[in-house]
């Protein structure tokens, strides 16, 4: 069946790309886990088309493709939510870092005696080099 | 007693080079017993150097964090440098430096003191959806705090050391998070609030918006910010030190 061949090729390509990214260290494991799960799922479904039909009987879904869409949407929702959470966490961390950099910078300037922009008075004790 | 307290004025400023110099100069002349910290919120103009030349200490954030971010940076600075009290003041000259002492004085009765526009001083008027938003906020906060609060979005607020610590933990950078959310979370953590009547001046730079649809959006966002803040888990108040314990 041609469609099975197409799905098989897609599944293998997805799994291969994920593996390459993971090995090159360009994607962290915590993000890759969900994608690997998806890749394995695609391969399993491509290799064994009857699986979807049996699963849909098991869940009481009349049309097997509907179960597939449902599962796919659920997984993608999970991935999107996970990325939003990570982005929020990163923003928080960046914000905290920015605050501390600013404070450290101000303290450093104070310790040096004067800020760079305010150092036009001649009583500045720090020798300039 | 008052003279032994270390006080900090926190002034967030974002591209305010036109007005920040005058505001800093006036503040330093009027408020003698407090240090002044201008938080330059990633300005692309000369805000930082103008403020520095006018005599303020300046915290330069590497990029724009929003008012809430700038204020939290200021409160972290205040906490780490052992200040007993901190007050936030707008850079645009809207808050009269002559009232700073009055807002600080409110801290004798509570952890947070709000300089409020509608408490009988000045002639600040609003109408329409913006007024409804303020009524809603006022009602919710009065209930939560147990004292009458009429102007919770006022950015003219003073904090004692306990409140400063609370702010360093929770001061969202989101829109209205800097006023509504931070205050409600502080109240729910067990901090007390008073309001002090102050007169506000018109802004020196920029124009306040009076467009009705903007006011309607403001109402919706206030309600949303309230909803989020009200349903958030409470911070255990026992983790916060007692008032004056650090002095």
Residues of B in contact with A98 (CB under 8 A): 61-63, 65, 69, 73
Structure tokens at B206: 């920029």
**What's the rounded Cα separation, in Å, for the pair B139 and B215?**
18
Q: pLDDT category, A60, cuts 50, 70, 90? A: confident
Which residue would you say has higher pLDDT here, A62 or A2?
Answer: A62
Residues in chain B, total = 247
Structure tokens at B11: 């002034």
- Alpha-carbon distance values, B2 to B33, B34, B78, B119 (Å): 9, 11, 18, 25
Would you call A102 and B62 a contact, using CB atoms and an 8 Å cutoff? yes
DSSP-assigned letter for residue B234: P
> Mean pLDDT in chain A?
80
In the prediction, which pLDDT does A113 show? Answer: 75
Q: Are B133 and B215 in contact (CB under 8 A)?
A: yes
A25 lies in some domain? yes
The whole-number average pLDDT for the span A67-74 is: 88
Which residue would you say has higher pLDDT here, B39 or A44?
Answer: B39
CA angle B10, B11, B17 (to 5 degrees): 155
Tell me the per-residue pLDDT of A20-41, one tens digit each, with 9 for 90 and over: 888 888 887 777 777 777 778 8
Number of domains, chain A? 1
Tell me the per-residue pLDDT of B34-83, one tens digit each, with 9 for 90 and over: 999 999 999 999 999 999 999 999 999 999 988 888 999 999 999 999 99
Instruction: State yes or no: pLDDT of A124 exceeds 50.
Output: no
Whether the CB of B53 is below 8 Å from some CB of chain A: the reply is: yes
Tell me the per-residue pLDDT of B89-123, one tens digit each, with 9 for 90 and over: 988 888 889 999 999 999 999 999 999 876 554 45
The pairing of strands B34-40 and B57-60 is parallel
Of A98, A100, A115, nearest to B58 by CB-CB distance is: A115
In the prediction, which pLDDT does B203 show? Answer: 62
A32 lies in some domain? yes
Tell me the per-residue pLDDT of B219-246, one tens digit each, with 9 for 90 and over: 788 788 888 877 777 665 555 555 443 4
Q: Are B222 and B133 in contact (CB under 8 A)?
A: yes
DSSP-assigned letter for residue B201: P
A71 lies in some domain? no
Would you call A118 and B52 a contact, using CB atoms and an 8 Å cutoff? yes
A4 lies in some domain? yes
E strands present in B71-120: 85-88, 112-116
pTM: 0.79
In the prediction, which pLDDT does B227 show? Answer: 82
Whether the CB of B24 is below 8 Å from some CB of chain A: the reply is: no
A37 lies in some domain? yes
CA angle B101, B106, B107 (to 5 degrees): 100
Q: Are B71 and B39 in contact (CB under 8 A)?
A: yes
Instruction: State yes or no: pLDDT of B206 exceeds 80.
Output: no
User: Using only C-alpha atoms, what is the Rg of chain A?
Assistant: 27
Q: Helix crossing, B67-80 with B161-169: angle to 10°? A: 130
Residues in chain A, total = 129
Q: What percent of chain A has pLDDT over 90?
A: 21
| Of B116, B150, B157, nearest in space to B133 by CA | B150
In the prediction, which pLDDT does A120 show? Answer: 41
A31 lies in some domain? yes
Strand order in the sheet with B7-13: B57-60, B34-40, B7-13, B85-88, B157-160, B112-116, B193-197
**What's the rounded Cα separation, in Å, for the pair B140 and B156?**
19
In the prediction, which pLDDT does B41 show? Answer: 92
Residues of A in contact with B52 (CB under 8 A): 115, 117-118
Q: Report the chain A residue with the minimal C-alpha distance to residue B57.
A: A106
Whether the CB of A108 is below 8 Å from some CB of chain B: the reply is: no
Q: Report the chain B residue with the minimal C-alpha distance to residue A99.
A: B73
The whole-number average pLDDT for the span B186-205 is: 83
A54 lies in some domain? no
Q: Which domains does chain B have, with CATH numbers?
A: 2-239 (3.90.550.10)
A68 lies in some domain? no
Tell me the per-residue pLDDT of A96-108, one tens digit each, with 9 for 90 and over: 999 999 999 999 9
Residues of B in contact with A102 (CB under 8 A): 39, 59-62, 73
Q: What percent of chain B has pLDDT over 70?
A: 84
Would you call A102 and B72 a contact, using CB atoms and an 8 Å cutoff? no
Distance of CA B202 to the CA centre of its chain: 17
Structure tokens at B98: 């002559």
State whether ipTM is beyond 0.95.
no
Q: Which of left, alpha, beta for B240 (phi over 0: left; psi -120 to 50: alpha)?
A: beta
Bridge partner list, B8: B35, B86
Interface test with B, best of A88, A106, A114 (most B CBs within 10 A): A106
Residues of A in contact with B77 (CB under 8 A): 103, 106
Tell me the per-residue pLDDT of B153-190, one tens digit each, with 9 for 90 and over: 888 999 999 999 999 988 887 767 777 888 888 898 88
**What's the rounded Cα separation, in Å, for the pair B61 and B90?**
17
In the prediction, which pLDDT does B134 show? Answer: 80
Residue A40 sits in which domain range? 1-48
């Amino acid at each position: 069946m041609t469609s099975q061949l197409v799905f098989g090729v897609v599944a293998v390509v997805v799994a291969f790309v994920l593996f390459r990214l993971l090995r090159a260290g360009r994607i962290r494991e915590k993000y890759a886990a969900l994608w690997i799960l998806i890749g394995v799922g695609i391969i399993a479904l491509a290799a064994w088309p009857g699986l979807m039909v049996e699963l849909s009987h098991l869940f009481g879904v009349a049309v097997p493709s509907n179960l597939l869409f449902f599962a796919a949407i659920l997984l993608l929702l999970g991935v999107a939510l996970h990325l939003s959470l990570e982005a929020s966490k990163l923003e928080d961390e960046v914000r905290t870092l920015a605050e501390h950099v600013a404070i450290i910078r101000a303290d450093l300037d104070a310790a040096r005696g004067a800020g760079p922009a305010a150092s036009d008075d001649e009583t500045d004790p720090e020798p300039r080099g | 007693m008052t003279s032994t307290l270390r006080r900090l004025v926190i002034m967030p400023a974002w591209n305010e080079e036109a007005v920040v110099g005058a505001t800093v100069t006036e503040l330093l002349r009027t408020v003698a017993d407090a240090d002044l910290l201008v938080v330059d919120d990633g300005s692309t103009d000369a805000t930082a150097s103008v403020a520095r030349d006018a005599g303020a200490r300046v915290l330069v954030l590497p990029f724009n964090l929003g008012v809430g971010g700038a204020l939290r940076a200021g409160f972290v600075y205040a906490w780490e440098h052992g200040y007993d009290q901190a007050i936030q003041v707008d850079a645009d000259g809207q808050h009269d430096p002559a009232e700073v002492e009055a807002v600080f004085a409110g801290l004798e009765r509570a952890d947070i003191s709000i300089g409020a526009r509608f408490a009988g001083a000045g002639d600040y008027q609003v109408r329409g959806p913006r007024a409804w938003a303020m009524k809603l906020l006022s009602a919710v906060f009065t209930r939560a705090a147990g004292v009458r609060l009429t102007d919770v979005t006022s950015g003219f607020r003073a904090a004692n050391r306990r409140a400063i610590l609370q702010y360093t933990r929770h001061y969202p950078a989101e829109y209205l998070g800097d006023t509504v959310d931070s205050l409600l979370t502080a109240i729910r953590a067990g901090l007390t609030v008073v309001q002090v009547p102050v007169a506000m001046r018109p802004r020196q730079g920029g124009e306040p918006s009076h467009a009705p649809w903007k006011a309607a959006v403001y109402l919706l966002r206030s309600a949303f910010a309230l909803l989020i803040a009200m349903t958030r888990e409470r911070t255990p108040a026992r983790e916060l030190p007692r008032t004056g314990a650090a002095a």
